[in-house]
């Protein structure tokens, strides 16, 4: 347990080997993760808890922390504190110690504290608190061994690690902390580093906006550039020269023709649009979407670990207030460009039901995930960047309009932001790569079954004639409102399973660029994919979810119609 | 006494009083924004945005409405 952004998750994964996403901003962990730990034949379960400033919660994530603490009857507490900011961290520590449980304190970011000129008398600190204190640099693993030893000691003799500090009220706690620190801590004054200067510049009106624009520009360049590089030089050649011919031969050896042949390889690997499980299915996931997912998460991970996101949140706070949100909602929105699922989860860092609803709806309607972006780039790229901009421009207008409208019609006001801004830190390469890998693996695990299921479903629905029935039923809407051929309905239906696959299904229809813009926008704004759908129900409840979906469908239809009128 | 909103960017002050209810006071207090603490106002975000302050080397963003309830004395 500990304050937000002190590195609890890093300590946790160092101890248990269980990987959890770690970043440099408060609110990275919003649920809890359980892991297993074994020291000297002793087995125990360890729980990674979201950060909190006190045991009286101010948001949902903090509530999770308090409930874990009070309901789970932990046998020992690992209290992680930020060594560079002991005074504030110790307040929660005192609240924890009051509970009379065996506790060990981890002084994390010990290296940063030393660099900042903080000197601590550890012996005296331990003596005053009555518990063991372990200095550590969790990202590099320094001090983790000592921590494991102390944990082992505690399990053998728990009674010796319970603090004897009496219960105190708030004023007494702060007085105690002040007295304690004057005895154990000395701070030398250091000059601000270049990074620290950059920290302030990122939030100031003029320089902040310039920096934000540069960050967005570089992000786009790197994501698209790296993605294309991977596709053109690695994945396309592998697919067309080795994988395609190979898999076709294998399948044709066993099943020369018929239903299963068609389901597995469709009309052949040479065509992007063959809709075989092992041809288009594999191609869309690995050679269209995966490269962009990889490059996006590398850049996002860098920005997260560097500490940029909370500053973007401060910078955009005023604008977000006009949309019924506040600055911190920037974080779910940015995450949404990767995948809408973690974005929905991270709406937990917002305080109220109203903000959660608005943020979730805005992300679902107007933030296309990377998988979808990848396919949109693939489809519209050949016709020129202006078409891609049309899709994103429309979504951006939707974002602003919908936010302003929701802000007006929903009762209440968005609360003010109030959060800690972490210092800029140079990202640790190992952690960054590990995080990127976890996210890419997460994408593959989730995408593969759904894409396969989707292709299977399309083939079966065609076979039994459901698709043609639906197509003729909805054809008038499609053609008159959206200006799309009736076959495009298949793609829109598929959008419920996987957005990337659905968008890819538009490829064989020979649509004009204008029609593609309409279809891509409608797909992006209409239904959430099934994974997002499930998380939405969990996060905002069935009633609000139905509202969101109704909003999405009507918005998608209206926007599609307007776009169709403009473009045709 | 002036509030955090009126304090000039780059100036340092001592927190004298926190207005508003005990809820606000508590929320600020657990973040170490308390009476008697030395606070530096680093900058203000654009379009009458939040105020960024620094206490003991730790930076925090605080909404204008809240910042208006924190009374300080410049030093």
Assess contact for A276 and A285: CB atoms under 8 A: no
**Cβ proximity of A67 and A31 under 8 Å:** no
Pairing of strands B2-3, B70-74: antiparallel
Both structure tokens of A197: 């200067």
Q: In what order do the strands lie in the sheet with B51-55?
A: A418-421, B58-62, B51-55, B38-44, B12-18, B70-74, B2-3
In angstroms, rounded to a whole number, what is the distance separating the alpha carbons of residues A539 and A440?
A: 23
Task: Name the β-bridge partners of B54.
Answer: B40, B59
Smallest Cα distance from B3 to chain A, Å: 16
Could you give phi then psi for residue A496, rounded to 5 degrees? -70, -35
Q: How far is Cα B55 from Cα B15, in angstroms, rounded to an integer? A: 11
Q: Which of A58, A322, A421 to mutate to test the interface with B (most CBs of B within 10 A)?
A: A421
DSSP-assigned letters across all residues of A478-513 = IIIII---TTHHHHHHHTTT-HHHHHHTTGGG---H
The pLDDT value given to residue A408: 93
pLDDT at A271 over 70: no
Chain A residues inside the 8 Å CB shell of B61: 203, 310, 313-314, 317, 327, 417-419, 421
CB contacts, 8 Å: B31 with chain A: 53, 88, 418, 420
Q: Distance from A198 to chain B by nearest Cα, in Å?
A: 12
Farthest-apart Cα atoms in chain A, separation: 83
Q: Could you give the CA distance from residue A405 to residue A309 in angstroms, rounded to a whole number?
A: 26
- Count CB neighbours of A233 within 10 A: 10
Asked whether residue A479 carries a pLDDT value surpassing 90, the answer given is no
Contact B61 A314 (CB under 8 A): yes
A-chain residues near B60 (CB < 8 A) = 418-421
Beta-carbon contacts of residue A402 (< 8 Å; ≥ 6 apart) = A361, A362, A365, A366, A551, A555
CA atoms within 13 A on the CB side of A353: 8
Q: Please judge whether A53 and B47 are an interchain contact, meaning their C-beta atoms are less than 8 angstroms apart.
A: no
Given a cut of 70, is residue A16 above it in pLDDT? yes
- Report the residue from B43, B52, B63 with minimal CB separation from A416: B63
Q: Are A481 and A557 in contact (CB under 8 A)?
A: yes
Question: A314, A320, A423, A425: best mutation site toward chain B, by most B Cβ within 10 Å?
Answer: A314
Q: What is the per-residue DSSP string for A233-294?
A: IIIHHIIIIIIHHHHHHHHHHH--SSHHHHHHHTT-TT-TT---IIIIIHHIIIIIIHHHHH
A313 vs A277, higher pLDDT: A313
Tokens read off for A429: 């390469």
For the stretch A123-177, pLDDT in tens is 999 999 999 999 999 999 999 999 999 999 999 898 889 998 988 998 999 999 9
| A58-62, A118-122, A269-273: range with highest mean pLDDT | A118-122
- Find the closest chain B residue to A415 by CA distance: B63
- Would you place residue A272 in the very low, low, confident or very high pLDDT band (cuts 50, 70, 90)? low
Is the model's pLDDT at A258 over the cut of 70? Answer: yes
Spatial separation of the C-alpha atoms in residues A554 and A549, rounded to whole Å = 9
- Token match 């002050």: residue? B13
Cβ partners under 8 Å of residue A408, min gap 6: none
- pLDDT, position A515: 93
Q: Which residue has the tokens 């997912």?
A: A293
Contacts of A65 in chain B (CB under 8 A): none
8 Å CB contact of A317 and B45: yes
Answer whether residue B23 shows pLDDT above 70. yes
**pLDDT, position A273:** 62
Does position A27 have pLDDT exceeding 80, yes or no?
no
Which regions of A387-505 does DSSP assign to beta strands (E)? Answer: 418-421
Q: Name residues 285-324 of chain A within 8 A of B (Cβ).
A: 310, 313-315, 317-319
Helix (H) or strand (E) holding A375: helix A370-380
Nearest to A31 by CA among A63, A71, A69: A63
Which structural domains are found in chain B, ordered by start?
Answer: 1-72 (2.30.30.90)
Cα A369 versus chain centre, distance: 11
Query: Distance between CA atoms of A444 and A285, rounded to whole angstroms?
Result: 8
Lowest mean pLDDT among A189-193, A329-333, B6-10: A189-193
Cross-chain Cβ contact B56/A85 below 8 Å: yes
Beta-carbon separation of B49 and A87 below 8 A? no
Spell out which residues of chain A touch residue B64, defining contact as CB-CB under 8 Å: 416
**Model pLDDT, residue A274:** 67
What pLDDT is stored for residue B66 in this prediction?
A: 93
Contact state of A203 with B63 under an 8 Å Cβ cutoff:
no
pLDDT of residue B57: 86
Q: Dump pLDDT digits (tens) for A307-323.
A: 999 999 999 999 999 99
Are residues B30 and A53, on separate chains, in Cβ contact within 8 Å?
Answer: yes
Q: Rounded to an integer, what distance in angstroms lies between the CA atom of residue A217 and that of residue A205?
A: 18
Contact residues, chain A, for B69 at CB < 8 Å = none
Contact state of B59 with A92 under an 8 Å Cβ cutoff: no
CB contact under 8 A, A91 and B44: no
**Contact call for B45 and A91, based on CB within 8 A:** no
Confidence of residue A288 (pLDDT cuts 50, 70, 90): confident
With a CB-CB cutoff of 8 Å, which residues 113-142 of chain A face chain B? 116
CB distance B48 to A318 below 8 Å: yes
Nearest CB to A319; choose among B47, B56, B61: B47
Is residue A223 very low, low, confident or very high in pLDDT (cuts 50, 70, 90)? very high
Looking at residues A20-29, what average pLDDT do you find? 79
Contact B57 A85 (CB under 8 A): yes
Contact criterion met (CB below 8 Å) for B66 and B28: yes
Determine the angle formed by the axes of helices A370-380 and A513-525, rounding to 10 degrees. 170
What integer is the mean pLDDT of B14-39? 91
What mean pLDDT comes out for the span B7-21?
92
Q: Could B56 and A88 be called an inter-chain contact, meaning their C-beta atoms sit closer than 8 Å?
A: yes
SS3 A185: strand
CB B37 within 8 A of CB B15: yes
What six digits make up the tokens of A258? 């018929």
Query: Given a cut of 80, is residue A10 above it in pLDDT?
Result: yes
Closest partner residue to A421 (CB to CB) among B27, B30, B52 is B52
**8 A C-beta contact, residue A277 and residue A452:** yes
- The SS3 call for residue A406 is helix
- The two three-digit tokens of residue A186, written as one number: 């000395």
Contact B66 A423 (CB under 8 A): no
CB proximity under 8 Å: B 5-64 to A: 26-32, 34, 42-50, 52, 56-64
First to last CA, chain A: 58
Read off the pLDDT of residues A418-470 as tens digits, 9 standing for 90 and up. Answer: 999 999 999 999 889 999 999 999 889 888 888 788 778 877 877 787 777 87
CB contact under 8 A, B45 and A208: yes
B68 in reach of chain A (CB within 8 A): no
Q: Hey, what are A537's tokens? A: 């129900």
Chosen from A24, A88, A424 to mutate, greatest number of chain B CBs within 10 A: A88
Give tens-digit pLDDT for B37-57: 999 999 999 888 999 999 988
3-state secondary structure at position B53: strand
**Which candidate from A88, A204, A208 shows the least CB-CB separation from B31?**
A88
- What backbone phi and psi angles, to 5 degrees, belong to A297? -70, -25
Q: What is the pLDDT of residue A134?
A: 96
Average pLDDT, chain A: 89
Under 8 Å CB pairs connecting chains A and B tally to 101
Instruction: Compare CB distances from B48 to A209, A318, A327 and report the shortest one's residue.
Output: A318
Chain CA centroid to CA A208, Å: 24
Substitution target from A330, A416, A423 for chain B, most B beta carbons within 10 A = A416
Residue B16: its pLDDT value, please?
Answer: 95
Contact A91 B30 (CB under 8 A): yes
Nearest to A440 by CA among A19, A102, A8: A19
Is A421–B46 a contact, with Cβ atoms under 8 angstroms apart?
Answer: no
């Amino acid at each position: 347990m500990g304050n937000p952004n002190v590195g609890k998750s890093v300590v946790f994964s160092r101890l248990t080997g269980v990987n959890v996403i770690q970043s440099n901003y408060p609110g990275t962990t919003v649920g809890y993760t359980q892991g297993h730990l074994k020291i000297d034949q002793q087995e125990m379960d360890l729980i990674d808890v979201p950060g909190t400033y006190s045991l009286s919660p101010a948001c949902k994530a903090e509530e999770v922390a308090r409930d874990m603490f009070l309901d789970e009857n932990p046998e020992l507490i690992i209290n992680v504190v930020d060594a560079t900011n002991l005074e504030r961290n110790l307040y929660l520590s005192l609240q924890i110690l009051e509970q009379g449980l065996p506790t060990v304190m981890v002084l994390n970011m010990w290296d940063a504290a030393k660099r900042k000129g903080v000197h601590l008398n550890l012996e005296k600190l331990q003596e005053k608190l009555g518990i063991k204190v372990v200095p550590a640099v969790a990202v590099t693993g320094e001090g983790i061994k000592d921590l494991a030893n102390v944990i082992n000691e505690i399990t053998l003799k728990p009674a010796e690690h319970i603090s004897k500090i009496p219960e105190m009220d708030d004023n007494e706690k702060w007085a105690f902390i002040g007295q304690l620190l004057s005895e154990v801590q000395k701070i030398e004054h250091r000059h601000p580093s270049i990074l620290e200067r950059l920290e302030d510049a990122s939030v100031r009106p003029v320089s902040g906006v310039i920096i934000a624009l540069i960050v967005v520009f570089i992000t786009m360049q790197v994501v698209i550039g790296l993605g294309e590089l991977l596709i053109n030089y690695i994945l396309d050649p592998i697919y067309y020269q080795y994988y395609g011919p190979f898999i076709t031969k294998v399948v044709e050896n066993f099943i020369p023709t018929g239903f299963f042949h068609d389901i597995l390889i469709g009309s052949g690997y040479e065509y992007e649009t063959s809709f075989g499980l092992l041809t288009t299915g594999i191609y869309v996931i690995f050679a269209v979407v995966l490269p962009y997912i990889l490059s996006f998460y590398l850049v996002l991970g860098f920005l997260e670990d560097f500490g940029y996101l909370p500053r973007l949140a401060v910078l955009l706070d005023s604008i977000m207030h006009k949309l019924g949100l506040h600055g911190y909602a920037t974080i779910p929105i940015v995450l949404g460009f990767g995948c809408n699922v973690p974005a929905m989860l991270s709406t937990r860092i917002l305080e109220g039901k109203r903000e959660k609803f608005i943020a979730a709806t805005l992300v679902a309607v107007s933030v296309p995930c990377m998988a979808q972006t990848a396919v949109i780039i693939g489809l519209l790229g050949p016709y020129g960047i202006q078409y891609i901009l049309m899709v994103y421009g429309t979504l951006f207008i939707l974002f602003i309009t919908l936010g302003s409208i929701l802000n007006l019609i929903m009762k209440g006001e968005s609360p003010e932001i109030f959060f800690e801004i972490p210092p800029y830190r140079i990202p640790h390469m190992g952690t960054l790569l590990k995080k990127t890998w976890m996210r890419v693996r997460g994408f593959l695990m989730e995408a593969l079954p759904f894409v396969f299921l989707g292709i299977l479903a399309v083939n079966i629905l065609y076979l039994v004639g459901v698709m043609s029935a639906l197509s003729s039923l909805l054809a008038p809407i499609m053609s008159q409102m959206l200006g799309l051929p009736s076959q495009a309905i298949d793609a829109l239906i598929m959008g419920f399973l996987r957005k990337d696959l659905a968008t890819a299904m538009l490829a064989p229809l020979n649509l004009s660029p204008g029609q593609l813009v309409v279809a891509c926008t409608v797909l992006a704004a209409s239904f959430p994919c099934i994974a997002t759908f499930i998380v939405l129900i969990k996060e905002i409840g069935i009633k609000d979810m139905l509202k969101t979906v109704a909003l999405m469908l009507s918005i998608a239809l209206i926007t599609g119609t307007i776009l169709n009128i403009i473009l045709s | 006494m002036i509030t955090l909103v009126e304090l000039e960017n780059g100036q340092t002050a001592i927190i004298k009083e926190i207005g508003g209810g005990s809820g606000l006071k508590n929320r600020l207090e657990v973040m170490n924004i308390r009476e008697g603490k030395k606070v530096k106002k680093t900058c203000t975000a654009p379009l009458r945005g939040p105020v960024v302050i620094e206490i003991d080397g730790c930076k925090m963003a605080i909404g204008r409405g809240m910042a208006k309830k924190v009374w300080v004395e410049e030093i």
